[in-house]
Amino acid sequence: MAIRPVLRMGDARLLQCAGLVGSFGSDELHKLLVDMRDTMQALEGVGLAAPQLGVGLRVVIFGVQKSSRYPDAETVPETVLINPVITPLDDQTEQAWEGCLSLPGLRGLVPRFQNIRYQGYDENGTPIDRTVSGFHARVVQHECDHLDGMLYPARIQDITQFGYTEELFSESEA
């Protein structure tokens, strides 16, 4: 059990494509997930991908009960998602502000598919198959992007809508 340092943008490991998990229920996988949970909770994140800890495996965790980082966000069930596959259900996209533990202090306005199906496995190899929308869909897309070496700034369409949280929201919503 350990809180581990989260790699920050600029570290080349965040740009690599992660590999498939080949076996479930191993001690190694279990330890990785414990560290990911500890780290995400300590930093009050809503999600974390294994590559952010320097581990090149297709493993993400996410979940939102009530977050100080996203006070108005809907809740998302605590989930371990391994070897995920995302299928957009239509062409509908929406823009919303995102942050990332690999870019501390920053926010950007990012387009995401509004309605998706995602499939994968939990830590025991049990299949997961969900159809979700809105914030839940956004979190999954953000985390799974990390598995393909993609950070959210690469998706920003209007780069003026990217900056330090304290400056962007200094007047209205902090």
Closer to Ni ion by Cβ: residue 29 or 46: 46
Q: How many residues bind Ni ion (CB under 5 A)?
A: 1
Of 36-44, 98-106, 119-127, 161-169, which part binds Ni ion (CB under 5 A)? Answer: 98-106
Residue number with the shortest CB distance to Ni ion? 100
For residue 80, give every residue at least 6 positions away whose Cβ sits within 8 Å of its Cβ, in sequence order, or none: 33, 59, 60, 61, 122, 123
| Of 57-65, 74-82, 94-102, 129-137: span binding Ni ion (CB under 5 A) | 94-102
CB of 19 to Ni ion, least distance (A): 19
With binding defined as CB under 5 A, does residue 110 bind Ni ion? Answer: no
Least distance from C-beta 108 to Ni ion, angstroms? Answer: 11
Structure tokens at 117: 């199906």
- Using CB under 5 A as the binding rule, whether residue 100 contacts Ni ion is answered as yes
Q: Which two tokens stand for residue 52?
A: 């952010």
Stretch that binds Ni ion, among 28-36, 95-103, 108-116, 121-129 (CB under 5 A): 95-103
Which amino acid is residue 138, in one-letter code? R
Question: Do the beta carbons of residue 114 and residue 133 sit within 8 Å?
Answer: yes
CA distance 57 to 7: 15
Given the residues 78, 143, 166, 173, the one annotated as active site: 143
3-state SS track over 136-155: HHHHHHHHHHHHCCCCHHHH
Q: What are the CA-CA distances from residue 57 to residues 1, 72, 89, 139 (Å)?
A: 19, 31, 26, 18
Answer yes or no whether residue 18 interacts with Ni ion by CB under 5 A. no
Residue owning tokens 């190899």: 125
Give yes or no: 143 in active site.
Answer: yes
What part of residues 128-147 is at the interface with Ni ion (CB under 5 A)? none
Q: Which is nearer to Ni ion, 15 or 24 (CB)?
A: 15
Which residues would be at the binding site for Ni ion (CB under 5 A)?
100
Residues marked as catalytic: 143
